């Protein structure tokens, strides 16, 4: 028995006329009659009573009509699910994001993605760039929002957002009244800095620029979560280099000041494994590109 046999039977059962059913199905009436006969022979029971004037359902035919409708509904739903999954409109996606993206980048991307693909089950977890690379190796995530450069041939990434690092300091700090901070002014400061393992390239860039300004930063606290950094700054433990977008999470007792040239730029990229071929992943990357274009990030 094939799906077409159910479709043929349901057409006859609803029309109660072989000629009209054949026209509806766009097949010849003799062929339709033969198909129904083959179906009855396979089932071993008559489904229709035929006379010269009319066609009626047998009791078995009425019961079979109910069940056949259910089968066709499930079949139609199965086709829709497969097609939606194939187009990336249905499925699952595991996303990891670096903490600095949560204030400007991540909300806009998620808002658009959820609006366009509400049937995708998206899991979201905050973790550092280096930790994301480890999660890729374990196949625990499919896509990441992280900070390049990434020296991995098995990971594909596209940079879509750049922002300067700025200085966060307590509002009572002597430098809080300055419009712009020269790195040389920070020689005697205590720094709150993320661990090098959490972002080697950016960590080395900050250290190098400070050394070019004549000092090595004196780190008194190493931490990674942006909110923890701001809490320590507010507590006057030290000053911190933070992404410009962190100003959106401003709390009382903290001011932000730009740093004089040369600027320290933080890049954000969408990344995925070369071996991952997922329609849902492709849709997410398309959304990232669309948001970056709409926001003008791709022109930075």
Specify the pLDDT at position 151. Answer: 87
State the average pLDDT over residues 211-224: 90
Q: Are 55 and 18 in contact (CB under 8 A)?
A: yes
Q: Which residues pair with 257 in a beta bridge?
A: 167
Residue ranges per structural domain of the chain: 3-86, 92-300
Query: Whole-model pTM?
Result: 0.73
pLDDT at 195 over 90: no
Pick the CATH number of 92-300 from 3.40.50.720, 1.10.3720.10, 3.40.190.290, 3.20.20.70: 3.40.190.290
Q: Is the pLDDT of residue 158 over 90?
A: yes
Partners of 144 in the β-ladder: 96, 271
Question: How far apart, in whole angstroms, are the C-alpha atoms of residue 60 and residue 206?
Answer: 80
What confidence tens digit (pLDDT) does each residue in 14-69 have?
Answer: 888 888 888 898 999 888 888 888 888 888 889 888 877 788 888 888 888 888 88
Strand-pair category, 91-97 with 143-146? parallel
Residues whose CB is less than 8 angstroms from the CB of residue 227 and which lie 6 or more positions away in sequence, other chains included: 249
pLDDT cut 90: percent of the chain above it? 53
3-86 and 92-300: identical CATH topology = no
Rounded to an integer, the average pLDDT of 239-265 is: 89
**How high is the pLDDT of residue 86?**
64
* pLDDT for the residue numbered 290: 95
DSSP percent split of the chain into helix, strand, coil, nearest 5:
50, 25, 30
What is the Cα–Cα distance from 146 to 149, expressed in whole angstroms? 9
Please provide the average confidence, as pLDDT, over all residues in the chain: 89
Phi, psi dihedrals of residue 80, rounded to the nearest 5°? -60, -45
What are 85-134's pLDDT values in tens digits?
A: 666 666 889 999 998 899 999 999 999 999 999 889 899 999 989 899 99
Tell me which CATH code domain 3-86 carries. 1.10.10.10
- Cα–Cα nearest to 157, from 272, 267, 265, 266: 272
- Rg for the chain (alpha carbons), in Å? 32
Give the pLDDT band of residue 84 (cuts 50, 70, 90): low
Strands 254-257 and 155-170: antiparallel
């Amino acid at each position: 028995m094939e799906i077409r046999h159910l479709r043929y039977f349901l057409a006859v059962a609803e029309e109660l006329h072989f000629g009209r059913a054949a026209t509806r199905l766009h097949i010849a009436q003799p062929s339709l009659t033969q198909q129904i006969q083959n179906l009855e022979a396979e089932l071993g029971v008559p489904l229709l009573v035929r006379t010269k004037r009319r066609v009626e359902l047998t009791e078995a035919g009425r019961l079979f009509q109910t069940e056949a409708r259910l089968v066709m509904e499930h079949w139609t739903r199965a086709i829709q699910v497969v097609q939606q999954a194939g187009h990336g409109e249905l499925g699952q996606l595991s996303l990891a994001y670096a903490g600095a993206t949560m204030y400007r980048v991540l909300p806009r991307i998620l808002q658009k993605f959820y609006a366009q693909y509400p049937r995708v089950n998206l899991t979201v977890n905050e973790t550092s760039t280096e930790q994301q690379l480890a999660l890729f190796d374990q196949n625990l995530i499919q896509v990441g929002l992280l900070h390049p450069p990434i020296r991995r041939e098995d990971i594909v990434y596209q940079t879509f957002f750049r922002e300067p690092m700025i200085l966060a300091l307590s509002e009572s700090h002597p430098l809080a009244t300055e419009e712009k901070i020269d790195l040389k002014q920070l020689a005697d400061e205590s720094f709150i800095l993320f661990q090098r393992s959490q972002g080697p390239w950016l960590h080395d860039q900050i250290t190098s620029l400070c050394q070019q300004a004549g000092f090595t930063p004196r780190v008194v606290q190493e931490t990674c979560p942006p909110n923890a950094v701001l809490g320590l700054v507010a507590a006057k433990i030290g000053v911190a280099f933070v992404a410009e977008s962190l100003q959106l999470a401003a709390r009382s007792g903290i001011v932000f000041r730009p740093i004089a040239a040369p600027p320290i730029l933080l890049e954000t990229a969408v990344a995925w494994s070369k071996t991952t071929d997922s329609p849902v992943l492709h849709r997410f990357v398309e959304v990232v590109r669309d948001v970056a274009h709409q926001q003008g990030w791709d022109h930075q």
